[in-house]
Amino acid sequence: MNYSPNYLRGGHHGYPTITVEVGERAPDFELLDTELKPRRLSEFLGKRFVAILTFPAAFSPVCTKELCTFRDRMALLNKANAEVIAISVDTPFTLKAFKERIGRTSHY
């Protein structure tokens, strides 16, 4: 799932942030997906391993390469029973176009 924290109103531009250490359980949160549907982290917990992928700029060369790497390795992640959730500060509309351009790599 690819979400925009700006729609959560948390984490950027003067809003509070949450820091989670490696191995620490992430708190539940809700963000809009690219279809403007509210989605919660708790929807995915307990079913599969969850990997949260954050990236700052859809369509940038570095982020495009990063997301394409995940897309190209999804078979390995699926075999490991992992769900990838991609989160960006971009708007859901931008993220939807980005998803369509590079192909689905995770939940958006």
Answer yes or no: 68 catalytic: no
Q: What is the pLDDT of residue 36?
A: 93
From the candidates 32, 41, 63, 86, which is the catalytic residue?
63
Q: What is the pLDDT of residue 3?
A: 46
Digit-coded pLDDT (tens) for 48-105: 888 888 898 999 999 999 999 988 998 899 899 998 889 998 999 999 999 999 886 5
Is residue 41 within 8 Å of residue 28, measured between CB atoms?
Answer: yes
Examine the pLDDT at 7 and tell me if it is beyond 50: no
DSSP β-bridge partners for residue 40: 30
Tokens representing residue 90 in the block: 């971009």
Pairing of β 82-88 and β 38-40: unpaired
Single pTM value for the model:
0.72
